[in-house]
Every structure is written in C-alpha cells, then in structure tokens.
Amino acid sequence: MMTITKMSLPRRTVLRGLGAAVALPLLDAMVPAASALSRTAAAPTRRFGVVYVPNGIAMEYWTPAEVGRGFDLTPILHPLEAFKDQLTVVSGLRGYWTPAHAGASTTFLTGAAGVAGETAPVADISMDQLLAREYGRHTELASLQLAIDSRANAGQCSGNHSCVYTNTICWRSQTTPLPMENNPRVVFERMFGDSGSTDPAVRRARMARDRSILDSVTGKVADLKNEIGPADSLKVDEYLEGVRDIERRIERAEQRDSFDVPELAQPEGIPATFAEHVELMFDLQVLAHQTDLTRVTSFMLGREVSSRTYTEIGIADAHHPLSHHEYNPEKIASMSKINAYHASMFADYLAKLRATPDGDGSLLDNMLLLYGCGMSDSNAHSPLNLPVLLLGGCAGQLEGGRHIRYEGDPLMPNLLVTLMDKLGVPVERLGKSDGRLSVERLTGV
C-alpha cells in the first residue's frame, strides 16, 4: 500500500493494482523538502547500456580520418550527428577471441572468448553483470537483456561453437550465459506485471480481461495527483501515456492475423517489421531507465551470423553472406548501408534518452552507452581495430566530441576496465585484460 504525504515521496514509489506494479519516474515530490533547494549537490545516478550489432562493419565507411576533436562524421556515423557532443569514437582496440563470429559476441563484454567444442559453454562474467551486482542493490531489476532475434541455443551456429555464444553477450558467470529476450510482451510484463510469466497461455488469459495494466491503478493515480504539484502531475501524465502507448503497440502486434505471415509462426507480441520491433525494444529500455526499474540494459540488434535481409532500405542480400564481400566495393557499400541503418535506429533511441529528464539532466547525460561489434573486417573475421562508440555523459564522467585512436593494438577489455571506473564500480581486471586505457582528453586535441 502506498503512503503519500505532502512532504515527499520515496524514489521507489510504486502504484500497485490488480496484477500490476507501475513504478514512477523521478518527481519533484520525491526530493525531501529539506534538500529541495540543494538538489544540484546530489550525485546523479549513473546508468549503463550496450547496443551490439552483428557481422562486422564496413570499416571504410566507419572510421573517421581525423583524430581528436574536429573529426568529420563518416557515412555510417552521420545519423549520430545530433549527438556528436556526447560521442566518442574509439579505434585501435583488439578483441580477444579466435576468428569466429561466436568469439566476437562472447568477448564483447566479457573480454574472454568462448571455448569451441566444450560440452558446456565457458566464458567469463560480463561487464553488464558486474555492474548489475552493484546497481541492482538499488533497483527492482538488476538488469535487462534484450534482443531482436529469437533464441536458438541448440546445435552449432559458428564454427565449432555452441549457438549459445552467438545468442547472448551477457554472462552471469564463467558458465552461465544469460538469455536475451526478444518478445516485448514478456519484457513489459517483467517490468510492470506481477506474473512475469513467459507462458503464452498465461499472457493470453491476462489479455482476455480486455483491460490495460494501467486501468488497475487509475484510482491510485488520481489520489497521487491530488498530493503533488502541477509540474509533477504533467510528468506523471506524460510518463503513463508513454506506458500506455507501448501497451497499444504490443497489443496491435499480437492481434495481427496469422495469415499475414503464413510460413512463420512468430511469437506473440513481436511486431511485423524489424523497424517497429527495434523501436519498441528501445522504448522499453527508455521506460526501464526512466522509472529506475534498472540501471543496466543490454540489447542485441542481431545475433552473429544473422542472415536477415534489409529490403526496406534496398538491400536484398542476406546480411551474413553480404559481410563476406571478398572486398567487392559494391558489396561493401551495401554493407555500409545496413550499418548506417542500425546507427539511425540507435540515434532515435538517443533522442528519446536526451528528451527524458533524469535528476538535473537527462537520461543521456547520466548514461554511458557502449555501441559496436566484436568484429571489424567481417570478410577476414578480424578482431583488430574493433568498431566501438561511447555515448552519453556518464553523470559527468565522460567527455564527448572526440575520436580516440589507440596505438599498439591494446585489448578491448582494457577499455572495459576503464569504463567500470567511470561507472563507479572499479575492478582490477575483466576477462583477459592486462591494464587500463585512458579516455581522458589530451591537451590540444
């Protein structure tokens, strides 16, 4: 039962109704009266998100020619132009893996490659889960692991590696890979519904009640708005409308007639188009951070070896075969269009994070986002010069507008160790790391 006073509300205020628990965004009323005049002194909440893209990158269209400030955005990075002030392009990093797609995804956050031929998967704890151990003490959900592709963990998907390695970038321990959820209905219910069931029959029974999760807390919302100020009331209205909009989109996806896709039995709740699916999954992540349900999110825009086609942007070739372009300029150019398409979707997510207040700034101000792939030149399965971007302000810990190029092929996990410092959860090592890498501004650049 929620207790509301005119003095302040707890930061973790939740409206509870039948089968629903709806967390609220940060409101002015959640700041104690005694500290209302000194809010700027409070330490902002640091958040972490990772967005992984598969099958390497057309590096000729990715890497800026200039180092430091004043670099020109390349065709793939051009969709991120509005966020250049909070963008850091990182070049020169080396992945730790054997030349296979499975190693690319496995090592991206763990710094340790999977072992081919093992009867059980073996890697190392991933960066996101190290953060979840600490940040999860303050949130309802320690982390969210999301994906676009469905799970296919049986058999071998890349070389002699288990499909587990290509279907996740998140590992709770050396032997515990975490599943990535691609059904927005399941994610939504994990965030807001009490059941959290992945059983389709349970979900259908709830939907059959023909009511929104929000309908069950309508009375409590009215009571809340009687106790808070006009500005907070507007925040609540805007936030709840965002929740309701996502519900509507999930329901529309679930109500599509099966004859629309006669040869594909799509799981319930998954939109018909790639673009709609990606947007919905990004919106769920915005909501998760906005309500402080979690401070750690991981998202795979595609699994390694994905053969998705992108006819909506004029690319009919399947992604993975196209990535083995044999250095044909036309195929590389087509590959770059897929990469830029992914970047444009990421830019839409960044815009929503920047537009969402969080403390005295925005969600983007307080987040550190890691975007990229565990492979560069896909034709060669190269682990060298990995394509990596850092976005966001990390609560004042990260300066953007730069292209950093490291010399000597340092390991990618060395950067992850440094980012853990920035996120306030220092570690001595991560995976096969053998040091740290500075991301501080250099004099004159």
Q: List pLDDT tens digits, range 259-310.
A: 343 333 333 578 889 999 999 999 999 999 998 989 999 999 999 999 999 9
Output the pLDDT for position 443: 43
**Higher-pLDDT residue of 255, 192:** 192
Per DSSP, the residues of 371-428 read EE-S-SSTTTT--SS--EEEES-TTTT---SEEEE-SS--BHHHHHHHHHHHTT---S
The pLDDT score that the predictor gives to residue 320 is 95
Predicted pLDDT of residue 248:
73
Q: Which of 60, 17, 51 is nearest to 374 (CA)?
A: 51
Neighbouring residues of 340: CB distance < 8 A, sequence distance ≥ 6: 61, 75, 76, 78, 79
Average pLDDT on 28-55 reads: 73
Report the run of H or E that residue 51 belongs to, with start and end. Answer: strand 47-52
CA distance 341 to 58: 13
What pLDDT score does 194 carry? Answer: 53
On whether the CB atoms of residues 421 and 436 are closer than 8 A, the answer is yes
pLDDT at 35 over 60: no
Residue type for 213, please?
A: I
Mean pLDDT of the 120-132 span: 88
Residue 139's pLDDT band (boundaries 50, 70, 90)? Answer: confident
How far is Cα 7 from Cα 228, in angstroms, rounded to an integer?
9
The C-alpha R_g of the chain, in whole angstroms, comes to 22
Question: Quick one: pLDDT band at residue 5, thresholds 50, 70, 90?
Answer: very low
Give the count of beta carbons closer than 10 Å to the beta carbon of residue 10: 12
Integer Cα distance of 188 and 184 in angstroms? 6
**Phi and psi at residue 318, to the nearest 5°:** -65, 145
Q: What is the pLDDT of residue 240?
A: 81
pLDDT at position 258: 41
- Calculate the dihedral angle through the C-alpha atoms of 370, 375, 379, 384, rounding to the nearest 10 degrees: 110
Higher pLDDT: 254 or 168? It is 168
- pTM given for the model: 0.84
| In the predicted structure, residue 224 carries a pLDDT above the cut 90 | no
- Residue labelled with tokens 């500005």: 231
| DSSP codes, 175-217 | TEEPPPB--HHHHHHHHHBSS----HHHHHHHHTT---GGGGG
Q: Comparing 105 with 239, which gets the higher pLDDT?
A: 105
Q: What is the pLDDT of residue 196?
A: 46
How, if at all, do strands 296-300 and 357-358 pair? Answer: unpaired
Handedness of CA 221, 222, 228, 232 (dihedral sign): positive
**% of residues, the chain, pLDDT over 90:** 56
Residue 130 vs residues 51, 76, 101, 230: alpha-carbon distances, Å: 17, 31, 24, 39
pLDDT at 193: 67
SS3 209: coil
Higher pLDDT, 106 or 213: 106
pLDDT band, very low/low/confident/very high, at 331 (cuts 50, 70, 90): very high
Going by their DSSP bridges, the two strands 144-147 and 296-300 should be labelled as parallel
Residue 219 has pLDDT above 60, yes or no: yes
- Interatomic CA distance for residues 155 and 407, integer angstroms: 39
Average confidence (pLDDT) over 246-260: 62
- Over 90: is that where the pLDDT of 365 sits? yes
**Over pLDDT 70: what percentage of the chain?**
79
Q: What angle do CA 63, 333, 53 make, to 5 degrees?
A: 60
Best CA proximity match to 28, nearest among 329, 234, 330, 279: 234
Q: Which helix (H) or strand (E) holds 296?
A: strand 296-300
Strands 156-158 and 296-300 turn out to be unpaired
The answer on pLDDT for 7 being more than 50 is: no
Burial class (CB in 10 A: 0-12, 13-18, 19+), 362: middle
H/E element holding 371? strand 367-372
